Each structure stands twice: as structure tokens, then as C-alpha cells.
Amino acid sequence: MRLGVVGHGGRISGMIKGPFRQADSDLRVVAVVDPDEEGARSRLAEEDRDDAVFYPSLDEMVRRGNLDALAIGTRCNLHTPYAIEAAAYDIPLFLEKPVAINMEQAIALEDAFEGSACPVVVSFPLRVSPLCTITREYLADGAVGTPEHILATNYVPYGTVYWDHEYRNYDITQGLFLQKATHDLDYICYLMDSPIVRVGAMHTRGRIFGGSKPAGLRCSACDDTETCLESPESRKRNSSGGVQSDHWCLFGEDCGSPETGMNEDSSSALIEFESGVHGVYTQVFYARRDAGTRGATISGYQGTLRFDWYTNELHRVRHHRPFSDTIKAGGGASHFGGDTELARDFVAVIRGKGASRTPIRTGLESVYACLAARASAETGAFVDVRQVGAVS
Ligand SMILES: NC(=O)c1ccc[n+]([C@@H]2O[C@H](COP(=O)([O-])OP(=O)(O)OC[C@H]3O[C@@H](n4cnc5c(N)ncnc54)[C@H](O)[C@@H]3O)[C@@H](O)[C@H]2O)c1
């Protein structure tokens, strides 16, 4: 199975060497488009390292590479332009999220895939994770009656990555609704079986991370590492997570500002579904250690379901019978088992043996909801969510 990769960075190389290879041991990376050939080659599996051919463009890679499948693993801002190119071919595509970072990109992407025969697996591990799919099965079996409300939370215990890694670059991420909530709003719609039509959102920025330290400052050149809670020494001493090697300052002016754009310390969205019910989603990026939690509570007149990917448990309460129960999933898999499921879907699509559970439509629906959330947080007004298929 001959895979061509655009942007062979940390995330996609990890997916290929782990879940993709587990799903199909015949899979080989035979072609790459990446301006950093040395770095990209170093991330290839040993068996691919010598043979993979680097191409200057996606077009040339497809014309000359004799490919069975494509994967786009660049940073966020390049997902759309490369996916638009890929839409012209019938080759199955694995596409990293978010599928777009602004409205222009999202509409152009939707246009490109209208009538395209290119099957897409969008990289949404939460939707396909076993805990999420069993929750959906419970809902389909009537565990809560009709779902009337959802409360979803995401206390990210590794949130410093959005400040001390490249993710701090707002021009590329366009904020953490698009970067992070794209996963959550996607699985929320899946569970509620309804698209989001209206959002009212708020964000808090520049109160914890960001600041006035000089641009480009790294811990190795800083005088405050004894007292700074984010220095490698402190993180080690306090077991507070995050990279424990030299890194960019989380309090630097190059983290951006509320005026120029920056990632948020926390953000929340009040969401209305097409079905007429509503829900809430909150994400917090300074949480640490055991404060980490990600999951949802879905309720209806008949009952309540509550699950958390960190504890890997689903709790079911019957409102009108004296029984409650908890089921526990096996742990240990990356993205709560979702990455394995995505890989199996991708291989099935390539082999013509199955369909994607995260087609391009899911990526677009989520991006439209995230863009509405960001617009609402910026303006203070409720914002209608553009729907896939809407006429411009
Ligand atoms: N689905 C998930 O759960 C999940 C998890 C982590 C990251 N991600 C997403 O993965 C994406 C990549 O993140 P990463 O941490 O792997 O980044 P990365 O910087 O490690 O990888 C990006 C790669 O793209 C290459 N690149 C840069 N410019 C390019 C160009 N013009 N053409 C082709 N390649 C180019 C870089 O050289 C690098 O190899 C991000 O958009 C992120 O949101 C998704």
C-alpha cells in the first residue's frame, strides 16, 4: 500500500508508524512533499527512510508516485490549500484537523469537494473512540429518551503546548476553538445527532499566558527559572507536566495579545442544535495533573449518561427506575483508542472495504461551528452557524 504524505511532521509520522502500520503492515510511505526534507526523512520509519522520494509539489507527487493513498499532516493553515488540490484526484485522503482556519478557506474547501470522488478520513479520533461510539449506542437505545441537553468539558492538562510550542502562532492556529474545540464540537454533534445552528461564546485571553517577556525568549536564556512555574526545573520538581526541556517562554510578547490575536486561557460556547435543544462546551488550558477531564453529560427525561475519556468510564442513570451503572473501557491507547479506529477506517477506505466515519462534511460542519464560536466571542453577539450546502 503506497502512501504519499504532505507535511511529514510529528503528528502524522506518529500516526503512520503506530496506528496505520498496525492497521496494515503492508503500508509504506513512498512519497513526501515537505520543504524540510532532512527533518521529514528523520521521522520516517526505518524501512521507508531510504526509499521515500521527495517531490516539490502534491501534483507532481500524485502524477509520478503511483499512490494508493494520501495524507496531509501540515500545520493548520495549509490543510485547506493542499486538500483542495487533493480533491481533484480519486485517491483516499487522510486529512488533519482543523480542515480550515477561516471562512474563506472553509467555503473554498466545501466547493472543491462538491462532486469530488476523493474519499476523506478527517482526523477526529474522539468521534470514533470506543467510549464515544458506545455512548452513541446507548443514546440510540433510548438510554436518556430524547437527548435534551449536553454539557461538555475539556480541562486540558497539557495546555501549555499551546504556548511553548509552535501552536502559539496565532496566524497558523487562529485560536483554540479551531485548534481544540473542533474535536469536541464534532463529537457533540455526533452524540446529539444534530448540527449546531447558533452559538454564543466567550473567551478569556492574556490573563495567564502571554505577557511582556521579550519575543523569542527561551528558558535557557532567562534569569527567572528558579521561581517560574513553567521552567523545566519547576515542571520536574512539581510533576506539573509539559515539556521538561528548554522551551519558549509562555509569558512572552510573541504569544500575541487580545488585540493582535492570541490563544485563549479558557473559552466557552453556548450551543443551539437544529433539533431545538441546547448545550454548553467549556475548555480550560491552564489545568494540570489530576484536573484533566474531557467528556460530556447528556440528559433527557428518561435518564443521564456521563462519560470521561480520562477515567475511561461511562455512567448511566435511569431517572425513573432505581438502577444506575458504570461501564469501564480498557485504557492505554492513543487518543483513547480513536487513533486506532481512524487508521482502521482509512485502511478500509483504501482497500474499498468500508466507508469513512469522519468524511469531509464532518470537518466542515465542525469548522463552521468553531468559526461562529470565535466570531461570537469577539463580538459578544450570538452567531448563526453556516451550514454545509448553504448558498453564499
Ligand atoms: N487529530 C489530532 O488529534 C491531532 C493531534 C496533534 C496534532 N494535530 C494536527 O496536526 C497538524 C500538524 O501538527 P504537528 O505537531 O505534527 O506539526 P509539525 O510542525 O510537526 O509538522 C508539520 C510538517 O509540515 C511541514 N511543512 C511546512 N510547510 C510545508 C509546506 N508548505 N508543504 C508541505 N509540508 C510543509 C513541516 O516541515 C513539518 O514536517 C496540526 O494542524 C495539528 O492541529 C492533530
Strand order in the sheet with 93-95: 53-54, 28-33, 2-6, 69-72, 93-95, 120-122
Which residue from 58, 75, 97 has its CB within 8 A of the most atoms of ligand 1, so it is best to mutate?
75
**Ligand 1 pocket, residue 75 CB under 6 Å:** yes
Distance 80 CA to ligand 1 centre (A): 13
Residue type, 281: Y
Q: Which residues lie below 8 Å from residue 301, measured CB to CB, with a gap of 6+?
A: 144, 145, 146, 148, 319
Report the nearest atom of ligand 1 relative to the CA of 36: 37
Is there a domain that residue 345 lies in?
no
Tell me if 177 sits within 8 A of 375, measured CB to CB.
Answer: no
On whether residue 99 sits in a domain, the answer given is: yes
Cβ–ligand 1 distance for 61 under 6 Å, the answer: no
Q: What does the chain come to in residues?
A: 392
pLDDT reading at 332 higher than 90: no
Using alpha carbons, select from 158, 188, 194, 190 the residue that is nearest to residue 176. 158
Are 248 and 278 contained in the same domain?
no
**Residue 70 Cα, ligand 1 centroid: separation in angstroms?**
15
- Return the minimum-mean-pLDDT range out of 31-45, 266-280, 323-337: 323-337
C-alpha–C-alpha distance, residues 89 and 70, integer Å: 10
Mean pLDDT calculated for residue range 356-365: 98
Per-residue pLDDT tens for 7-54?
999 999 999 999 999 999 999 999 999 999 999 999 999 999 999 999
Nine-digit cell at 243? 515539556
Q: Based on the domain organization, do 71 and 31 belong to the same domain?
A: yes
- 263-289 burial code (b ≥16 CB/10 A, e <16): bbbbbbbbbbbeeebbbbbbbbbbbbe
Domain interval for residue 230 = 219-255
Domain count, the chain: 3
Indicate if ligand 1 lies below 6 Å from the C-beta of 159: no
Pairing of the two strands 69-72 and 28-33: unpaired
Mean of the pLDDT values across residues 212-230?
97
The span from the CA of 370 to the CA of 384, in Å, is 11
Cβ-proximal residues to 148 (8 Å cutoff; 6+ apart), any chain:
277, 299, 300, 301
Task: Tell whether 211 is covered by a domain.
Answer: no
In a domain, 212, yes or no: no
On whether residue 106 sits in a domain, the answer given is yes
Task: Count CA atoms closer than 13 A to 268's CA, side-chain side.
Answer: 10
What is the model's pLDDT at position 336? 85
Whether 150 and 78 map to the same domain: the answer is no
Residue 338 lies in a domain: no
- Nearest-CA residue for ligand 1 atom 11 is 75
Q: In which band, very low, low, confident or very high, does the pLDDT at 369 lie, cut at 50, 70 and 90?
A: very high
User: Which protein residue's CA is at the shortest distance from atom 5 of ligand 1?
Assistant: 11
